[in-house]
Amino acid sequence: MAFLLSMAGMARLAASITRTEGMDRRDHFAGLNVAIVHYWLVGMRGGEKVVEELCNMFPQADIFTHVARPERLSARIREHRIVESFIGRLPGAKSHYQSYLPFMPRALEGFDLTGYDLVISSEAGPAKGVICDPDATHVCYCHSPMRYIWDQYHVYRAGAGTLARLAMPWMAHGLRVWDQTSAARDDHIVSNSSFIQRRVAKSWGRESEVIHPPVDLEAFAPATDPAAISNRYLYVGELIGYKRPDLVVDAFNASGRALTIIGDGAERRRLQQKAGPNIRFLGRAPFEVLKHEYAHCRALVFPGVEDFGIVPLESMASGRPVIAFGKGGALETVLDGVTGSFFYRPTAEALNTAIQHFETDLLNDLDHDAMARHVTQFGRNRFRKEMTQSLLAKLAKRADRA
């Protein structure tokens, strides 16, 4: 009987697929039991912002994760029932959860998802490998296949401690086998960018659909007084190896230009020790400080290879251009010569050359209207619409097969 009711509900969803405009999209999924699976909930970064938007779409959803720190989560996420795996009960897991990575595949498979009609896994750490009912629809929203076992493996290993460096070759091989095998459990995969779509194909051998993540564009605004724009550049992000804050510090040490760094991480102390007086560190700044720095910087510097990169769009929504490394998700968000410019070699010299080019050829001719038009295509409403259409199509397909 439960099966028949579930399939009848899916049939109603299929009939509504052409009526997504002008409706509260949550109505399409009323009556469905929904589970959202996320790797760990310990802060509000890009992946958690996607979970937050999924919570808006599915107010009835339960959330499953390895470790949760509710005090660091948004009010919207905290409204939902959050179920931790056994990882959350292990010693020190709230702060050192990544140390338990080898146990996470088994932890995921221990979640009881019986009775859920729709399962959405949010993947960048182990999340997609849950076991669902045969009649459930499982859609994976992939921020990235796990970087530390695939294309960023050697970067992470080089920056690891002695014990981790010794253990990683043995641990990573088994995780790669499980990661690729568990990808076959997903009915459909959504990648957050074309760059990640290529990673998914290379790592998992699966095709995927591209839907860019939601960006809260309304939270940011250009400076009200253009004369208040400073000559300081801005870096925003974690201070960890693959994001390349070291490259930025080296470049600004060499040039003497003013730089503000917002963010924290394992590299902060080392970077502060070698940074010149022209570089200031604000740590994990409050949102109002972040918003002000975005709106009043000369330009954002974005030096890493990111899966998608919400930070450049927040900068552009604040009316400020971006100087980005020309690889990864930035190629899908930054318009060269319109909303910013690129450098293509990961060196301090190449970054300084790009900054000089920006100051000479672009800074005084920025088209702020073009920048504003460009960022509108990455807002939250667009994400909800595209995810709704994608999910309805997959649910209808499952209903048709029944």
So where are the chain's domains?
Answer: 2-214+380-401, 217-378
- How many CB atoms within 10 Å of residue 153? 16
Residues of the chain with pLDDT under 50: 1-23
Q: Which pTM value belongs to this model?
A: 0.86
Say yes or no: do domains 2-214+380-401 and 217-378 share a fold.
yes
The confidence score (pLDDT) of residue 30 equals 83
d(CA 176, CA 150) in angstroms, rounded, equals 8
- Provide the 8-state DSSP code for 14: H
The confidence score (pLDDT) of residue 20 equals 43
Q: For 228-282, what is each residue's pLDDT tens digit?
A: 999 999 999 999 888 999 999 999 999 999 999 999 998 999 999 999 999 999 9
- Domain 2-214+380-401, what fold? Rossmann fold (3.40.50)
Nearest to 305 by CA among 199, 172, 175: 199
Contact of 321 with 366, CB cutoff 8 Å: yes
d(CA 9, CA 159) in angstroms, rounded, equals 50
The confidence score (pLDDT) of residue 167 equals 83
d(CA 34, CA 31) in angstroms, rounded, equals 9
Q: Phi first, then psi: what are they for 138, rounded to 5°?
A: -115, 115
- Domain 217-378, what fold? Rossmann fold (3.40.50)
The confidence score (pLDDT) of residue 399 equals 66
Contact of 263 with 236, CB cutoff 8 Å: yes
Q: Per the structure block, which two tokens stand in for 164? A: 């981790």
Secondary structure class of 303 (helix, strand, coil) = coil
